A = this chain, B = another copy of it.
């Protein structure tokens, strides 16, 4: 099929419609994995202000796995505390009734922060550029042609799907017509669109570009002008529709959003407040006695976002229901509501950055995928209130869940059925989200209870309790994917997901032994504690070792390897993993390094200073002829000089005298936990969904087919003691000439 790709852009592995956070996350994955990709957006430009802005701690973990977590962390406003304000039961005057931490302590190495969507899109764009040039997505590695560029001002106009080839992994069943808009078409008046698509068309657009946005903005305008008016057909193997609440892709598929709207109407103001309210830099929930409520979200650059209940804007729709009367809502009416709710405190502003108003609606898509070829993600398959700061997070996490799966199928590493887990896992999350939002919004929209007898009012105790529970959900850390071919746990995959069948062949189903690591849960993301690199004693948060590269990981918690019995188990496991028939080898294309599809990490618990990497079998420290041993794979649970003791074994609940092994998905979720040396279960697990690359190599002779005859990894035979260096300082231009170990010989520099 390679030759069909030759015509630049007419055939792509992945086509992404929509370049908001979900679409960009998908493109980012593709850029990491080197998958041929186009991403188009009908908007003429990226977002610069307003819109969604809360970042969960799980989202920051994900950003960090793509190496730009620090950018969000540095630029964002950190929210530490939630203050609950309500009328004093005796006097009726607003008082701070309680405080709770905004992020539950110790659930993540990050805490929830706020940063506007425009900056997040910038981080993605920078990462996509850098990655795609590095991996050579759409051209030669290292060349600028390889760059995946967001194509702005491009509108999809027709969709065809050839169902007959849906299961042919080499086919391009999707055909899309794209029309390149003119600049005027691509630049509609800035709209105040909220997550549920029911925003009203006003809001204020200000060109407060960051310096790193300015240049792009100019280039963009030129590139739009160049192609304006053209249409083209694109054929794709896979497609993601990430085109927002009024999704064109969803319409083409004929899928529905199911759910309903509420009567609650809220206004949103992003202002620099001038106020004597003492908690204006805290996240606050303020309930007035009878004027409604305000939620305060302090932001970056001195801004504060206010979500304000608008009590006077519901009008009768003439048929007994209530209607959202847009015409009466202005920033003036919204701030006036805030002022009523927050009295006796004063609040005003001289700078307004953005504003909108919305009615809460809660809906979930009835399907997330067409034949596991076309997927929906983000706002086009779930809409809800923005107040819990979930929208952008859940949308990005949809694509974070999908991206590596699509990449591994496109690259021929995994079988197509893993794609079913996208709907199973993410539609379930969307359902949970809507249920959460339903409860959360009601609490906000209700009035405070006057006393314990006031059943219609919301008791502050109930409110606080809901907030604390909600914080666990809102952190993103609670996500617990159900049993499937890639999550080896008991129970019904249908019940634990959205009803999709994702368990696969019952015969290959593998069991986890969760008791071996009582601090870990199969289906949840790997928690992080500090461990030390064995070779250089540097402390790393364990998650920092789990970068989103597209690789699966086997983590061997080898325990106390100074214990001879434990050392023997490790050596035996090393033999199996290092053997020719190892799953490390059969899951990996013959020409690639043996750990490039499944990375092997280990963490032991013997004293660091009594151990070296040479106490581990060679398979745990990959050898490279130019670079020697890889020092980055073996870690130890010991005390650091400057950052304390991570107590990883204790926190993970692993017995150092026994250890365990853990299989992690490319997205850091735990697939399997078992005995440290249970090679056989690991092998079975991967057999459930990975393709045998030896078979593939035989079936389709590749250019580098001869490479399959290579040793499992160069240097295996030689061993550490085999390393020989003979110096011939005087002769020729070579610094060091080859010794008698030809396999590892050192040539000219």
Give A residues with C-beta under 8 Å from B. Answer: 70, 74, 77-81, 99, 101-103, 105-106, 111, 130, 133, 211, 272-276, 278, 280-282, 298, 302, 330-333, 335-336, 339, 346-352, 533, 535-539, 609, 612-614, 625-628, 631, 640-642, 720-721, 723-725, 727, 729-730, 734-736, 744, 746-747, 749
A211 to B333, CA, bound (A): 50
Identify which of B78, B133, B335, B626 contacts A727 (C-beta below 8 A): B335
In the complex, what residues of B have CB within 8 A of residue A612's CB? 278
Known: A105-B642, A278-B614, A641-B101. A725 touches B80 (CB 8 A): no
> Are the C-beta atoms of A537 and B80 separated by less than 8 Å?
yes
A250, chain B: closest CB distance, angstroms: 37
Known: A332-B735, A724-B346, A735-B335. A626 touches B746 (CB 8 A): no
A729, chain B: closest CB distance, angstroms: 4
> Are the C-beta atoms of A536 and B298 separated by less than 8 Å?
yes
Q: What is the chain B residue whose CB lies nearest that of A720?
A: B276
In the complex, what residues of B have CB within 8 A of residue A272's CB? 626-628
A446 to B331, CA, bound (A): 77
A642 to B105, CA, bound (A): 6
> Are the C-beta atoms of A642 and B276 separated by less than 8 Å?
no
A198, chain B: closest CB distance, angstroms: 23
> Are the C-beta atoms of B331 and A735 separated by less than 8 Å?
yes
Q: What is the chain B residue whose CB lies nearest that of A623?
A: B274
> Are the C-beta atoms of A538 and B336 separated by less than 8 Å?
no
Known: A276-B614, A276-B720, A746-B348. A536 touches B80 (CB 8 A): yes
Q: What is the chain B residue whose CB lies nearest that of A347?
A: B725
In the complex, what residues of B have CB within 8 A of residue A77's CB? 536
Instruction: Name 30 A/B residue pairs within 8 A (Cβ), A-sorted.
Output: A70-B70, A78-B538, A80-B539, A80-B640, A80-B642, A101-B641, A106-B642, A111-B642, A274-B744, A274-B746, A278-B612, A278-B613, A278-B614, A281-B536, A282-B536, A282-B537, A298-B536, A302-B627, A331-B735, A332-B729, A332-B730, A332-B734, A332-B735, A335-B736, A346-B723, A348-B736, A350-B626, A350-B749, A351-B627, A352-B735
> Are the C-beta atoms of B99 and A749 separated by less than 8 Å?
no
Extra inter-chain contacts (4) besides given A80-B642, A274-B746, CB under 8 Å: A103-B642, A133-B211, A278-B612, A348-B736
A736 to B81, CA, bound (A): 29
Q: What is the chain B residue whose CB lies nearest that of A350?
A: B626
Q: What is the chain B residue whose CB lies nearest that of A533?
A: B281
A735 to B747, CA, bound (A): 75
Identify which of B211, B280, B640 contacts A130 (C-beta below 8 A): B211
In the complex, what residues of B have CB within 8 A of residue A720's CB? 276
In the complex, what residues of B have CB within 8 A of residue A735's CB? 330-332, 335, 349, 352
> Are the C-beta atoms of B281 and A81 separated by less than 8 Å?
no
A146 to B79, CA, bound (A): 36
A722 to B725, CA, bound (A): 82
In the complex, what residues of B have CB within 8 A of residue A336's CB? 727, 729
Q: What is the chain B residue whose CB lies nearest that of A278?
A: B612
A527, chain B: closest CB distance, angstroms: 15
In the complex, what residues of B have CB within 8 A of residue A111's CB? 641-642
Known: A78-B538, A339-B725. A351 touches B278 (CB 8 A): no
Identify which of B80, B348, B727 contacts A538 (C-beta below 8 A): B80
Identify which of B281, B333, B627, B749 contacts A352 (C-beta below 8 A): B749
Q: What is the chain B residue whose CB lies nearest that of A625?
A: B350
Interface centre among A80, A133, A536, A642 (most CB of B within 10 A): A642
Interface centre among A77, A336, A539 (most CB of B within 10 A): A336
In the complex, what residues of B have CB within 8 A of residue A211's CB? 130, 133
A304, chain B: closest CB distance, angstroms: 10
A335 to B734, CA, bound (A): 12
Identify which of B78, B538, B539, B746 contacts A350 (C-beta below 8 A): B746
A647, chain B: closest CB distance, angstroms: 15
A735 to B339, CA, bound (A): 12
In the complex, what residues of B have CB within 8 A of residue A628's CB? 272-275
A727 to B625, CA, bound (A): 75
A649, chain B: closest CB distance, angstroms: 21
Q: What is the chain B residue whose CB lies nearest that of A345?
A: B723
A347 to B746, CA, bound (A): 11
A627 to B330, CA, bound (A): 22
> Are the C-beta atoms of A81 and B537 separated by less than 8 Å?
yes
A536, chain B: closest CB distance, angstroms: 4
Q: What is the chain B residue whose CB lies nearest that of A731?
A: B332
A106 to B330, CA, bound (A): 54
> Are the C-beta atoms of A641 and B105 separated by less than 8 Å?
yes
In the complex, what residues of B have CB within 8 A of residue A278's CB? 612-614
> Are the C-beta atoms of A749 and B335 separated by less than 8 Å?
no
Interface centre among A273, A281, A539 (most CB of B within 10 A): A281
Interface centre among A111, A280, A641 (most CB of B within 10 A): A641
A106 to B335, CA, bound (A): 49
> Are the C-beta atoms of B349 and A736 separated by less than 8 Å?
yes
> Are the C-beta atoms of A727 and B339 separated by less than 8 Å?
yes
> Are the C-beta atoms of A351 and B626 separated by less than 8 Å?
yes
